Protein backbone atom coordinates (compact mmCIF):
# COMPACT_ATOMS: atom_id res chain seq x y z
CA UNK A 1 0.00 0.00 0.00
CA UNK A 2 1.04 3.60 -0.45
CA UNK A 3 2.64 5.01 2.65
CA UNK A 4 1.64 8.36 4.07
CA UNK A 5 3.33 11.54 2.88
CA UNK A 6 5.96 12.47 5.52
CA UNK A 7 6.29 15.93 6.99
CA UNK A 8 9.74 17.47 7.02
CA UNK A 9 8.71 20.62 8.88
CA UNK A 10 6.76 20.72 12.14
CA UNK A 11 4.40 23.06 13.93
CA UNK A 12 3.77 26.45 12.37
CA UNK A 13 6.48 25.72 9.82
CA UNK A 14 4.18 23.19 8.11
CA UNK A 15 1.54 25.82 7.47
CA UNK A 16 4.11 28.24 6.07
CA UNK A 17 5.55 25.59 3.75
CA UNK A 18 2.20 24.46 2.46
CA UNK A 19 0.80 27.96 1.94
CA UNK A 20 3.91 29.12 0.12
CA UNK A 21 4.11 25.95 -1.93
CA UNK A 22 0.44 26.02 -2.81
CA UNK A 23 0.84 29.54 -4.16
CA UNK A 24 3.71 28.45 -6.39
CA UNK A 25 1.94 25.27 -7.43
CA UNK A 26 -1.14 27.23 -8.51
CA UNK A 27 0.91 29.10 -11.11
CA UNK A 28 0.76 27.52 -14.58
CA UNK A 29 3.96 26.04 -15.96
CA UNK A 30 5.67 28.66 -18.12
CA UNK A 31 4.99 28.36 -21.82
CA UNK A 32 7.88 27.56 -24.12
CA UNK A 33 9.51 30.74 -25.36
CA UNK A 34 9.92 31.76 -28.96
CA UNK A 35 13.31 31.07 -30.47
CA UNK A 36 15.80 33.34 -28.67
CA UNK A 37 17.74 36.03 -30.47
CA UNK A 38 21.03 37.72 -29.66
CA UNK A 39 22.50 36.49 -26.37
CA UNK A 40 19.26 35.74 -24.58
CA UNK A 41 20.13 32.12 -23.83
CA UNK A 42 22.67 31.60 -21.06
CA UNK A 43 24.25 28.19 -20.53
CA UNK A 44 25.75 27.98 -17.03
CA UNK A 45 27.98 24.95 -16.58
CA UNK A 46 28.53 24.34 -12.86
CA UNK A 47 31.39 21.90 -12.46
CA UNK A 48 31.84 19.97 -9.24
CA UNK A 49 30.01 20.07 -5.96
CA UNK A 50 27.46 22.56 -4.63
CA UNK A 51 29.30 23.10 -1.38
CA UNK A 52 30.56 26.67 -1.02
CA UNK A 53 29.06 30.10 -0.46
CA UNK A 54 31.56 31.50 -2.95
CA UNK A 55 29.91 29.42 -5.67
CA UNK A 56 26.51 30.81 -4.64
CA UNK A 57 27.89 34.38 -4.75
CA UNK A 58 29.51 33.83 -8.16
CA UNK A 59 26.28 32.33 -9.49
CA UNK A 60 24.23 35.26 -8.14
CA UNK A 61 26.58 37.68 -9.93
CA UNK A 62 26.08 35.79 -13.21
CA UNK A 63 22.31 35.83 -12.70
CA UNK A 64 22.33 39.57 -12.03
CA UNK A 65 24.17 40.11 -15.30
CA UNK A 66 21.72 37.82 -17.09
CA UNK A 67 18.81 39.90 -15.77
CA UNK A 68 20.47 43.11 -16.94
CA UNK A 69 20.90 41.63 -20.43
CA UNK A 70 17.29 40.47 -20.67
CA UNK A 71 18.16 36.76 -20.79
CA UNK A 72 15.13 34.64 -21.67
CA UNK A 73 16.40 31.18 -20.72
CA UNK A 74 19.07 29.97 -18.32
CA UNK A 75 20.21 26.40 -18.84
CA UNK A 76 22.00 24.93 -15.82
CA UNK A 77 24.28 21.97 -16.46
CA UNK A 78 25.11 20.18 -13.19
CA UNK A 79 27.33 17.22 -12.33
CA UNK A 80 27.49 17.70 -8.53
CA UNK A 81 27.68 14.89 -6.01
CA UNK A 82 28.19 16.64 -2.64
CA UNK A 83 25.98 19.57 -1.68
CA UNK A 84 24.65 21.85 1.04
CA UNK A 85 20.99 22.93 1.26
CA UNK A 86 21.93 26.58 1.91
CA UNK A 87 24.03 26.72 -1.26
CA UNK A 88 21.30 25.06 -3.35
CA UNK A 89 18.64 27.38 -1.99
CA UNK A 90 20.79 30.49 -2.56
CA UNK A 91 21.42 29.46 -6.18
CA UNK A 92 17.74 28.73 -6.78
CA UNK A 93 16.78 32.08 -5.27
CA UNK A 94 19.31 33.90 -7.45
CA UNK A 95 17.86 32.25 -10.55
CA UNK A 96 14.33 33.27 -9.62
CA UNK A 97 15.50 36.83 -9.01
CA UNK A 98 16.98 36.97 -12.51
CA UNK A 99 13.49 36.72 -14.02
CA UNK A 100 14.63 34.20 -16.65
CA UNK A 101 13.09 30.81 -17.16
CA UNK A 102 15.38 28.11 -15.80
CA UNK A 103 15.96 24.64 -17.23
CA UNK A 104 18.40 22.06 -15.87
CA UNK A 105 20.44 19.23 -17.38
CA UNK A 106 21.93 16.69 -14.97
CA UNK A 107 24.85 14.88 -16.57
CA UNK A 108 28.13 13.46 -15.32
CA UNK A 109 30.55 11.69 -17.62
CA UNK A 110 33.07 11.03 -14.83
CA UNK A 111 31.25 8.62 -12.54
CA UNK A 112 27.79 8.51 -14.12
CA UNK A 113 25.96 9.94 -11.13
CA UNK A 114 24.72 13.18 -9.60
CA UNK A 115 23.69 13.68 -6.00
CA UNK A 116 20.40 14.67 -4.42
CA UNK A 117 21.51 18.31 -4.26
CA UNK A 118 21.90 18.57 -8.02
CA UNK A 119 18.41 17.17 -8.49
CA UNK A 120 17.05 19.49 -5.76
CA UNK A 121 18.45 22.51 -7.63
CA UNK A 122 17.06 21.13 -10.87
CA UNK A 123 13.63 20.94 -9.23
CA UNK A 124 13.89 24.67 -8.48
CA UNK A 125 13.72 25.30 -12.25
CA UNK A 126 10.77 24.94 -14.59
CA UNK A 127 12.04 21.74 -16.23
CA UNK A 128 14.78 19.28 -15.41
CA UNK A 129 16.34 16.71 -17.76
CA UNK A 130 18.60 13.79 -16.90
CA UNK A 131 21.24 12.44 -19.26
CA UNK A 132 20.18 8.87 -20.03
CA UNK A 133 23.41 7.29 -18.70
CA UNK A 134 23.46 9.35 -15.50
CA UNK A 135 21.80 8.16 -12.29
CA UNK A 136 20.81 10.06 -9.17
CA UNK A 137 22.73 8.35 -6.39
CA UNK A 138 23.75 9.51 -2.92
CA UNK A 139 26.65 8.53 -0.71
CA UNK A 140 27.16 9.22 2.98
CA UNK A 141 29.83 11.85 2.27
CA UNK A 142 27.56 13.88 -0.03
CA UNK A 143 25.84 15.74 2.80
CA UNK A 144 28.02 18.77 3.61
CA UNK A 145 25.57 20.53 5.94
CA UNK A 146 27.97 20.26 8.90
CA UNK A 147 30.52 22.42 7.04
CA UNK A 148 28.21 25.42 6.67
CA UNK A 149 28.95 28.61 8.64
CA UNK A 150 27.64 28.49 12.20
CA UNK A 151 25.27 31.43 11.65
CA UNK A 152 23.32 29.66 8.85
CA UNK A 153 19.56 30.06 9.35
CA UNK A 154 18.69 26.42 8.78
CA UNK A 155 15.03 26.83 9.71
CA UNK A 156 14.51 29.29 6.88
CA UNK A 157 16.71 27.41 4.40
CA UNK A 158 14.93 24.10 4.98
CA UNK A 159 11.46 25.65 4.95
CA UNK A 160 11.92 27.53 1.70
CA UNK A 161 13.79 24.76 -0.13
CA UNK A 162 11.14 22.25 0.91
CA UNK A 163 8.38 24.59 -0.25
CA UNK A 164 9.92 25.14 -3.68
CA UNK A 165 10.50 21.42 -4.31
CA UNK A 166 7.07 20.44 -2.95
CA UNK A 167 5.46 22.86 -5.41
CA UNK A 168 7.45 21.43 -8.33
CA UNK A 169 6.53 17.86 -7.41
CA UNK A 170 2.85 18.80 -7.26
CA UNK A 171 3.08 20.58 -10.62
CA UNK A 172 4.74 17.55 -12.20
CA UNK A 173 2.17 15.16 -10.72
CA UNK A 174 4.88 13.40 -8.69
CA UNK A 175 4.35 11.81 -5.29
CA UNK A 176 5.31 14.45 -2.70
CA UNK A 177 6.70 11.65 -0.56
CA UNK A 178 9.77 12.00 -2.79
CA UNK A 179 10.50 15.29 -1.00
CA UNK A 180 11.72 13.42 2.06
CA UNK A 181 13.57 10.87 -0.06
CA UNK A 182 15.62 13.74 -1.52
CA UNK A 183 16.12 16.06 1.44
CA UNK A 184 15.92 13.81 4.47
CA UNK A 185 16.22 10.18 3.35
CA UNK A 186 15.45 7.58 6.00
CA UNK A 187 14.22 4.00 6.10
CA UNK A 188 13.47 1.94 2.99
CA UNK A 189 11.41 2.98 -0.02
CA UNK A 190 10.26 1.00 -3.04
CA UNK A 191 8.67 2.01 -6.34
CA UNK A 192 6.06 -0.53 -7.37
CA UNK A 193 5.00 -0.62 -11.00
CA UNK A 194 1.29 -1.29 -11.35
CA UNK A 195 -0.75 -2.54 -14.27
CA UNK A 196 -2.53 0.80 -14.61
CA UNK A 197 -0.79 3.70 -16.35
CA UNK A 198 0.77 6.39 -14.22
CA UNK A 199 3.73 6.75 -11.87
CA UNK A 200 4.79 3.79 -9.73
CA UNK A 201 3.37 3.56 -6.22
CA UNK A 202 5.78 4.23 -3.33
CA UNK A 203 5.83 1.83 -0.41
CA UNK A 204 8.09 1.19 2.56
CA UNK A 205 7.91 -2.60 1.99
CA UNK A 206 8.53 -4.59 -1.19
CA UNK A 207 5.39 -6.25 -2.60
CA UNK A 208 4.86 -9.83 -1.52
CA UNK A 209 2.91 -10.90 -4.63
CA UNK A 210 5.81 -10.80 -7.06
CA UNK A 211 4.91 -7.42 -8.55
CA UNK A 212 7.93 -5.73 -10.10
CA UNK A 213 9.45 -3.16 -7.74
CA UNK A 214 12.59 -1.04 -7.66
CA UNK A 215 14.35 -0.09 -4.45
CA UNK A 216 14.82 3.68 -4.17
CA UNK A 217 16.03 4.05 -0.56
CA UNK A 218 18.19 1.58 1.32
CA UNK A 219 18.36 1.95 5.08
CA UNK A 220 21.82 2.62 6.51
CA UNK A 221 23.20 -0.19 8.65
CA UNK A 222 24.89 2.40 10.89
CA UNK A 223 21.81 4.53 11.48
CA UNK A 224 22.76 7.35 9.10
CA UNK A 225 20.77 8.66 6.12
CA UNK A 226 19.44 6.06 3.75
CA UNK A 227 21.12 5.60 0.39
CA UNK A 228 19.13 6.93 -2.58
CA UNK A 229 19.46 5.51 -6.07
CA UNK A 230 17.38 6.45 -9.11
CA UNK A 231 18.12 5.47 -12.66
CA UNK A 232 17.26 7.98 -15.36
CA UNK A 233 14.32 5.84 -16.47
CA UNK A 234 12.99 5.61 -12.91
CA UNK A 235 13.33 9.37 -12.36
CA UNK A 236 11.25 9.92 -15.50
CA UNK A 237 8.61 7.36 -14.49
CA UNK A 238 8.27 9.04 -11.07
CA UNK A 239 7.74 12.42 -12.80
CA UNK A 240 10.79 13.81 -11.00
CA UNK A 241 12.36 14.94 -14.26
CA UNK A 242 10.82 15.99 -17.57
CA UNK A 243 12.72 13.40 -19.57
CA UNK A 244 16.13 12.19 -20.64
CA UNK A 245 18.36 14.16 -22.98
CA UNK A 246 21.49 13.52 -25.01
CA UNK A 247 23.19 16.78 -24.08
CA UNK A 248 22.89 20.54 -24.01
CA UNK A 249 21.95 20.81 -27.67
CA UNK A 250 19.15 18.31 -27.24
CA UNK A 251 17.73 20.23 -24.26
CA UNK A 252 17.85 23.55 -26.08
CA UNK A 253 16.15 22.03 -29.12
CA UNK A 254 13.32 20.76 -26.92
CA UNK A 255 13.00 24.19 -25.33
CA UNK A 256 12.75 25.88 -28.72
CA UNK A 257 16.12 27.62 -28.53
CA UNK A 258 18.45 25.19 -30.25
CA UNK A 259 19.50 26.65 -33.54
CA UNK A 260 19.59 30.44 -33.57
CA UNK A 261 23.10 31.68 -34.47
CA UNK A 262 24.67 33.61 -31.62
CA UNK A 263 21.74 32.81 -29.35
CA UNK A 264 23.81 31.18 -26.62
CA UNK A 265 26.60 32.25 -24.29
CA UNK A 266 28.31 29.82 -21.91
CA UNK A 267 29.70 30.52 -18.46
CA UNK A 268 31.58 27.92 -16.39
CA UNK A 269 31.54 28.08 -12.59
CA UNK A 270 33.04 25.85 -9.92
CA UNK A 271 32.93 25.71 -6.16
CA UNK A 272 36.70 25.85 -5.71
CA UNK A 273 36.39 24.63 -2.12
CA UNK A 274 38.50 21.51 -2.60
CA UNK A 275 41.26 23.58 -4.24
CA UNK A 276 41.01 26.20 -1.49
CA UNK A 277 41.36 23.48 1.14
CA UNK A 278 44.52 22.20 -0.55
CA UNK A 279 45.88 25.73 -0.99
CA UNK A 280 45.24 26.50 2.68
CA UNK A 281 47.07 23.39 3.86
CA UNK A 282 50.01 23.99 1.53
CA UNK A 283 50.13 27.70 2.38
CA UNK A 284 50.20 27.12 6.14
CA UNK A 285 52.88 24.43 5.76
CA UNK A 286 55.08 26.69 3.62
CA UNK A 287 54.52 29.60 6.01
CA UNK A 288 55.60 27.51 9.00
CA UNK A 289 58.67 26.23 7.13
CA UNK A 290 59.75 29.78 6.26
CA UNK A 291 59.22 30.99 9.81
CA UNK A 292 61.29 28.10 11.13
CA UNK A 293 64.09 28.73 8.62
CA UNK A 294 64.12 32.49 9.28
CA UNK A 295 64.27 31.86 13.01
CA UNK A 296 67.18 29.46 12.51
CA UNK A 297 69.10 31.98 10.36
CA UNK A 298 68.56 34.78 12.86
CA UNK A 299 69.63 32.63 15.79
CA UNK A 300 72.74 31.24 14.08
CA UNK A 301 74.89 34.32 14.79
CA UNK A 302 77.93 34.84 17.03
CA UNK A 303 77.82 36.48 20.44
CA UNK A 304 78.02 40.29 20.41
CA UNK A 305 81.52 40.11 21.90
CA UNK A 306 82.91 38.37 18.84
CA UNK A 307 84.77 40.63 16.39
CA UNK A 308 82.69 39.40 13.42
CA UNK A 309 79.35 39.63 15.23
CA UNK A 310 78.07 42.77 13.52
CA UNK A 311 78.86 41.64 9.96
CA UNK A 312 77.40 38.15 10.48
CA UNK A 313 74.27 39.51 12.14
CA UNK A 314 73.91 41.93 9.27
CA UNK A 315 74.15 39.13 6.72
CA UNK A 316 71.67 37.02 8.73
CA UNK A 317 69.16 39.88 8.77
CA UNK A 318 69.53 40.51 5.05
CA UNK A 319 69.06 36.80 4.35
CA UNK A 320 66.03 36.42 6.63
CA UNK A 321 64.10 39.47 5.42
CA UNK A 322 62.86 38.02 2.08
CA UNK A 323 61.89 34.78 3.85
CA UNK A 324 59.76 36.72 6.33
CA UNK A 325 58.24 38.92 3.64
CA UNK A 326 57.21 35.77 1.76
CA UNK A 327 55.82 34.33 5.00
CA UNK A 328 53.79 37.51 5.58
CA UNK A 329 52.42 37.25 2.04
CA UNK A 330 51.47 33.60 2.53
CA UNK A 331 49.71 34.46 5.77
CA UNK A 332 47.70 37.20 4.05
CA UNK A 333 46.69 34.80 1.24
CA UNK A 334 45.62 32.15 3.76
CA UNK A 335 43.52 34.71 5.63
CA UNK A 336 41.95 35.82 2.34
CA UNK A 337 41.02 32.18 1.58
CA UNK A 338 39.23 32.03 4.92
CA UNK A 339 37.20 35.11 4.01
CA UNK A 340 36.26 33.68 0.60
CA UNK A 341 35.54 30.22 1.98
CA UNK A 342 34.19 30.38 5.56
CA UNK A 343 33.66 26.62 5.24
CA UNK A 344 37.41 26.24 5.86
CA UNK A 345 36.85 27.22 9.48
CA UNK A 346 35.59 23.66 9.97
CA UNK A 347 39.02 22.28 9.04
CA UNK A 348 41.45 21.14 11.72
CA UNK A 349 44.19 23.66 12.44
CA UNK A 350 47.64 22.32 11.48
CA UNK A 351 49.51 21.14 14.54
CA UNK A 352 46.35 20.26 16.45
CA UNK A 353 43.85 17.40 16.43
CA UNK A 354 40.07 17.48 16.03
CA UNK A 355 39.78 16.50 19.69
CA UNK A 356 41.90 19.52 20.61
CA UNK A 357 39.37 21.82 18.94
CA UNK A 358 36.27 20.28 20.51
CA UNK A 359 34.21 22.65 22.62
CA UNK A 360 35.64 25.80 21.02
CA UNK A 361 33.48 28.31 19.19
CA UNK A 362 33.67 27.83 15.41
CA UNK A 363 36.72 29.57 14.04
CA UNK A 364 38.28 30.33 17.43
CA UNK A 365 41.16 27.90 16.90
CA UNK A 366 41.88 29.35 13.45
CA UNK A 367 41.76 32.94 14.69
CA UNK A 368 44.23 32.04 17.44
CA UNK A 369 46.47 30.18 14.97
CA UNK A 370 46.53 33.13 12.55
CA UNK A 371 47.23 35.62 15.33
CA UNK A 372 50.07 33.52 16.72
CA UNK A 373 51.66 33.30 13.28
CA UNK A 374 51.10 37.01 12.64
CA UNK A 375 52.80 37.84 15.95
CA UNK A 376 55.71 35.54 15.12
CA UNK A 377 56.16 37.10 11.67
CA UNK A 378 56.23 40.62 13.17
CA UNK A 379 58.63 39.57 15.91
CA UNK A 380 61.11 38.01 13.49
CA UNK A 381 60.74 40.86 10.98
CA UNK A 382 61.68 43.39 13.67
CA UNK A 383 64.74 41.32 14.60
CA UNK A 384 65.78 40.83 10.96
CA UNK A 385 65.49 44.55 10.23
CA UNK A 386 67.47 45.36 13.32
CA UNK A 387 70.29 43.02 12.22
CA UNK A 388 70.15 44.19 8.58
CA UNK A 389 70.38 47.86 9.50
CA UNK A 390 73.39 47.53 11.80
CA UNK A 391 76.71 48.22 10.10
CA UNK A 392 80.25 47.82 11.26
CA UNK A 393 81.82 51.06 12.38
* Whether residue 228 sits in one domain with residue 288: no
Express each pLDDT in 4-48 by its tens digit. 333 444 333 333 333 333 333 334 444 443 333 444 899 999 999
In-domain check, residue 6: no
Here the CATH number for the domain that contains residue 264 is 3.90.226.10
* Whether residue 238 sits in one domain with residue 370: no
* Continuous H helices in the chain: 12-26, 53-68, 85-98, 116-122, 154-172, 178-183, 232-237, 248-254, 273-299, 309-340, 364-389
* Whether residue 318 sits in one domain with residue 199: no
Last residue of a domain, one of 251, 270, 289: 270
**What angle in degrees, to the nearest 10, is found between the helix axes of 154-172 and 12-26?**
40
Last residue of a domain, one of 270, 288, 309: 270
For the chain, the domain total comes to: 2
* Whether residue 384 sits in one domain with residue 357: yes
**310, 386 contact by CB (below 8 A):** no
In-domain check, residue 337: yes
Express each pLDDT in 164-199 by its tens digit. 999 999 999 999 999 999 999 999 999 998 756 778
- Sign, CA dihedral 19-24-27-29, equals negative
Domain that holds residue 307: 274-389
* Whether residue 190 sits in one domain with residue 124: yes
Give which of 133, 132, 94, 134 is closest to 118, Cα–Cα.
134
* Whether residue 306 sits in one domain with residue 257: no
Torsion of CA 298, 302, 308, 309, to 10 degrees: 60
Residues counted in the chain = 393
Q: What are the residue ranges in the chain where pLDDT is below 70?
A: 1-39, 195-196, 258-262, 355-360, 362, 391-393
Amino acid sequence: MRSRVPKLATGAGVLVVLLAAATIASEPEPARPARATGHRVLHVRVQGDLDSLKLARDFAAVMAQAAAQGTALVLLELDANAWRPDVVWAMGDALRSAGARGVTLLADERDGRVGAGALALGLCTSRCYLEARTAVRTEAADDQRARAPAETDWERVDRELQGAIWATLKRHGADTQLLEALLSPGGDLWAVSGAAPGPPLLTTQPPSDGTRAERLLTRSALGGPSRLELSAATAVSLCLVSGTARGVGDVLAREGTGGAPGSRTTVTLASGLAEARRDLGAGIAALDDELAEAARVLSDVPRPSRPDAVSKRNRAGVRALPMLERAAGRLTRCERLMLEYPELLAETVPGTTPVGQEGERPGAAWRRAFQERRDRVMELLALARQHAERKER
